[in-house]
Amino acid sequence: MNKDRKDRDVIDDDLYEEIDDVELVELVEKERQKALKKADEEKNRKPKRPFPKWAFWLIVFALVFNVAAMIPKTFSFPAIDFLITSAKLSVKDNIQTYKKAVVVIETENSKGTGFSISSDGTILTNHHVVEGEEEVTVAFPEKGLYTADVVNTYPAVDLAVLDMEGNHLPHLNLSGKPSFKPDTPIYFIGNPLRFNGIANKGTIIDSITLNGWNQPVYMLDAPVYKGNSGSPVINMDGEVIGVVFATLNHESYGRVGLFIPIDYYWKHRG
């Protein structure tokens, strides 16, 4: 195992060890599905009226109350908070559009995130999500399952490119001149824990150069969990500026998310 890979594994362990309460995750997922079902029923009954805010907050309250009533008071609140944030964001038209291009990537032994960057089937993700694989399964939220080939890998910056046969696929636009100023707000969408299509938000903290890396990456003040690897980091203009790949316990900022600047994709692509 080379040094670069070893250092990334240490970083990734922080991501994978966070929140392993399986019962909590299952309970929250059940309540989330109930909330979504109620929202769909309301939408179908009154298609010409916007979904009322009071009903949305009622559903959110019911979700939190029902889960809290079924588990000990010592459960991890962040696991609930990031789902509530996702529910709030997911009613926005731009987030709904972004989510259509974010895919689940599955191999025999792992699950991660990727996102479409072209209408004909080019997918960007992390190298460690597909490492050792020549072919993976890709699932679009609305377009269904595809088989994709791993066509290019860039281990030095933990990126990989997949290719699949497709037409008129939803996709995200990559920023040509991204800005990484501290406190810049961002969105990111991924498949953390046992959930799919979770939208969340955060802010850029600063750059950092990791052990074994020759180029800096960026820290996020954001709730990043196992399964978020490969999530697109999206600016307020709707452009991808980076790819989430790990977390880090920083001595000054605490637990932070890490993302690879999209510049590195452009440089390696040539």
- Tens digit of each residue's pLDDT (9 = 90 or more) over 76-85: 456 678 888 9
Domain boundary (137, 163, 189) is at: 163
Judgement on whether residues 151 and 178 belong to the same structural domain of the protein: no
Confidence of residue 217 (pLDDT cuts 50, 70, 90): very high
Q: Which of 86, 116, 175, 229 is catalytic?
A: 229
Tell me 59's DSSP state. Answer: H
CATH code, domain carrying 105:
2.40.10.10
Is residue 87 one of the residues assigned to a domain? no
| DSSP string across 152-208 | EEEGGGTEEEEE---SS---PEEPSS----TT-EEEEEE--TT-SSEEEEEEEEEEE
pLDDT of residue 8: 42
pLDDT of residue 61: 65
Domain boundary (142, 163, 184) is at: 163
The answer to whether 140 and 100 have CB atoms below 8 angstroms apart is: yes
Q: Which residues contact 100 (CB under 8 A, 6 or more apart)?
A: 140, 141, 142, 170
- On the CB side of 50, CA atoms within 13 Å amount to 6
118: left (phi over 0), alpha (psi -120 to 50) or beta: beta
pLDDT of residue 109: 83
Q: Give the domain range for residue 69.
A: 22-75
**Mean pLDDT along residues 257-267:** 95
Active-site residue flag, 229? yes
**Mean pLDDT along residues 97-126:** 95
Judgement on whether residues 122 and 181 belong to the same structural domain of the protein: no
pLDDT of residue 187: 98
Judgement on whether residues 52 and 115 belong to the same structural domain of the protein: no
pLDDT of residue 169: 96
Neighbour tally for 91: CB within 10 Å: 13
Is residue 215 one of the residues assigned to a domain? yes
Confidence of residue 177 (pLDDT cuts 50, 70, 90): confident
In the predicted model, is pLDDT for residue 18 greater than 50?
no
Active-site residue flag, 158? yes
The answer to whether 99 and 86 have CB atoms below 8 angstroms apart is: no
Is residue 80 one of the residues assigned to a domain? no
Strands 239-250 and 173-174: parallel
Q: Which of 128, 171, 175, 263 is catalytic?
A: 128
User: Alpha-carbon distance 257 to 137, whole Å?
Assistant: 26
Is residue 86 one of the residues assigned to a domain? no
Q: Which of 158, 175, 221, 263 is catalytic?
A: 158
pLDDT of residue 171: 97
pLDDT of residue 67: 53
| Residue with the larger pLDDT of the pair 269 and 233 | 233
Comparing CA positions, the residue from 83, 89, 90, 41 lying closest to residue 66 is: 83
Comparing CA positions, the residue from 101, 114, 107, 224 lying closest to residue 160 is: 114
**Amino acid, res. 88:** K
Q: Tokens 């109930």 appear where?
A: 34
| Residue with the larger pLDDT of the pair 248 and 63 | 248
Report the chain's mean pLDDT, rounded to a whole number: 82
Judgement on whether residues 32 and 15 belong to the same structural domain of the protein: no
In the predicted model, is pLDDT for residue 213 greater than 80?
yes
Is residue 83 one of the residues assigned to a domain? no
In the predicted model, is pLDDT for residue 102 greater than 80?
yes
Judgement on whether residues 30 and 13 belong to the same structural domain of the protein: no
Judgement on whether residues 146 and 178 belong to the same structural domain of the protein: no
Output phi, psi for 10, to 5 deg: -65, -45
Q: Tokens 């999500």 appear where?
A: 129
Judgement on whether residues 238 and 200 belong to the same structural domain of the protein: yes
Judgement on whether residues 65 and 126 belong to the same structural domain of the protein: no
What whole-number percentage of the chain has pLDDT above 70? 70
Judgement on whether residues 212 and 236 belong to the same structural domain of the protein: yes
pLDDT of residue 83: 85
Q: Tokens 């000990």 appear where?
A: 72
In the predicted model, is pLDDT for residue 25 greater than 70?
no
| Residue with the larger pLDDT of the pair 69 and 109 | 109
Domain boundary (110, 136, 163) is at: 163
In the predicted model, is pLDDT for residue 66 greater than 70?
no
User: Alpha-carbon distance 124 to 120, whole Å?
Assistant: 13
Strand, helix or coil for residue 71: coil
For 128-166, the pLDDT digits (tens) are 999 999 999 999 999 899 999 999 999 999 999 999 998
Total domains in the chain come to 3
The least confident of 10-14, 45-49, 192-196, 233-237 is: 10-14
Confidence of residue 4 (pLDDT cuts 50, 70, 90): very low
